[in-house]
Amino acid sequence: MALFQLYEEPKTGEKITIEGGKLRVPDHPIIPFIEGDGTGPDIWAAAKRVLDAAVEKAYGGKRKIAWFEVYAGEKAYKTFGTWLPEDTLTAIREYLVAIKGPLTTPVGGGIRSLNVALRQELDLYACVRPVRWFPGVPSPVKHPELVDMVIFRENSEDIYAGIEWPAGSEEVRKVIAFLQNEMGVKKIRFPETSGIGIKPVSKEGTQRLVRAAIEYALKHGRKSVTLVHKGNIMKFTEGAFKNWGYEVAEQEFGDKVFTWAQYDRIKAEQGVEAADKAQKEAEAAGKLIVKDVIADAFLQQILLRPAEYDVIATLNLNGDYISDALAAQVGGIGIAPGANINYVTGHAVFEATHGTAPKYAGLDKVNPSSVILSGEMMLRYLGWTEAADLIIKAMERTIANKTVTYDFARLMDGAKEVKCSEFGTLLIENMG
Ligand SMILES: NC(=O)C1=CN([C@@H]2O[C@H](COP(=O)(O)OP(=O)(O)OC[C@H]3O[C@@H](n4cnc5c(N)ncnc54)[C@H](OP(=O)(O)O)[C@@H]3O)[C@@H](O)[C@H]2O)C=CC1
Ligand SMILES: O=C(O)CCC(=O)C(=O)O
Ligand SMILES: [Mg+2]
């Protein structure tokens, strides 16, 4: 039986596979891409040229990506009458690694997020968003160079999962009646006019995310993993995230880590001096410190004391807010990349942190760096580090030359504003 109902199978290229937890990447891997809505076509066009040029330059034609266009969002709806064709999910399941532009989600009604649907359907449980500063990028803070964090955002649960019912509906009446009559809930302030959303947070979901964050931190020699939560208020979801996070750290990583839960136990038994001493010894021994902070305090501390934070592990909605807030400190979401990954199956969809920026659609104006750097993450994920390094080098040079898109140009003295496509061309020129 044919693999696809709507698409033709790619005629060139080979499948990326996974064996014993390790990706096997052929020289001509088939990589599905989704162009995206709004500014998606502009930034994707620039990104594809840059990624192809980096691979060509790094491997002199020996390696080349076999791009395979798959559809989602407005283009899918116009072409096939459906927002997210099953074929698109099949393609990503089959070829393992994909990259996408942003997709529109209407507010307050209409279709549910296709971005979230892709993450849920493919169980891409970790949303990984590195935030670093490139010298010369305009920033609202005095020391943007101190921001060097990698956010691990849980990607499959939380209030973000989309389990909710609108005010006045038959469904919401049933849920509210159940809560009031069977669960003894008396705290719904306006039951007649409330919509209800549900926030599932599980031990499995938390621990696979925190495990991925700790493994990443250990592999890359990072100093700490911070669990960011609002566990003082949402005790059994966000508070449990913190407890389960410490549990997986201690049970699975043993003496490679020192946790603040351990610190608290030593403090309770032997006093604060002994706890401080134990933490200092752990730091001196190069152990990874696993700590936690309440989300609102974290948002002010990343502005005031960013050097104290490194890898961040957090829940879905917190991670969404933190991604954009941190990106602002290093120049904005125009340069904020990301990946949605299942570290067990190897499935990964790379995408920018930002959305479709609809007011700029078709103007060839916005910054393509976010999707280009998502592609750079993808190349690294494939093990094509030489090509990835070329992109970083080109990005550093192009920004240092002050030839930048509108978002940087408006805040940079003496900058020359270039179009989205021109920025892509400059990156290619600056790879040499
Ligand atoms: N993963 C995804 O596909 C995502 C999709 N979305 C969806 O995108 C749509 C629009 O969302 P919205 O809240 O406006 O957020 P956006 O991220 O699309 O845009 C907000 C602002 O961010 C700046 N910006 C965004 N992209 C770039 C870029 N490439 N270069 C420079 N600046 C950029 C612009 O700022 P300025 O106005 O200052 O120039 C823009 O107005 C919604 O439907 C939303 O659901 C949102 C986030 C993620
Ligand atoms: O899916 C959407 O429309 C928004 C998603 C989002 O903001 C994000 O994942 O950061
Ligand atoms: Mg977001």
Q: Is 90 in the pocket of ligand 2 (CB under 6 A)?
A: no
Mean pLDDT of the chain: 97
Nearest atom in ligand 2 to the alpha carbon of residue 324 is 10
Q: E strand or H helix at 262, and its extent? A: helix 260-270
301-322: per-residue pLDDT in tens? 999 999 999 999 999 999 999 9
Strands 22-24 and 17-19: antiparallel
Q: What is the pLDDT of residue 232?
A: 98
Mean pLDDT within 84-106: 97
DSSP β-ladder status, 148-154 and 416-417: unpaired
Rounded Cα gap, residues 161 and 172, in angstroms: 17
Does the pLDDT of residue 432 top 90, yes or no? no
ipTM score of complex: 0.99
Q: Which residues are catalytic?
A: 160, 230, 296, 320
104 CA from centroid of ligand 3 (Å): 12
Atom 21 (ligand 1): residue with closest C-alpha?
357
pLDDT tens sequence across 120-177? 999 999 999 999 999 999 999 999 999 999 999 999 999 999 999 999 999 999 999 9
Assign 362 a pLDDT band (cuts: 50, 70, 90): very high
pLDDT score at 161: 94
183-236 per-position pLDDT tens digit: 999 999 999 999 999 999 999 999 999 999 999 999 999 999 999 999 999 999
Report the pLDDT value the prediction gives residue 321, as an integer from 0 to 100: 98
| 115 within ligand 2 shell (Cβ under 6 A) | yes
Q: Is the CB of 316 under 6 A from ligand 2?
A: no
Is the pLDDT confidence value at 376 over 90?
yes
| Residue-level pLDDT at 371 | 98
DSSP characters over 234-260: SIIIIIHHHHHHHHHHHHHHGGGEEEH
- pLDDT recorded at residue 406: 98
| Angle of CA points 151, 161, 247, to nearest 5° | 55
Amino acid at 34: I
pLDDT digits (tens, 9 = 90+) for 255-307: 999 999 999 999 999 999 999 999 999 999 999 999 999 999 999 999 999 99
Amino acid at 172: V
**What pLDDT score was predicted for residue 109?**
83
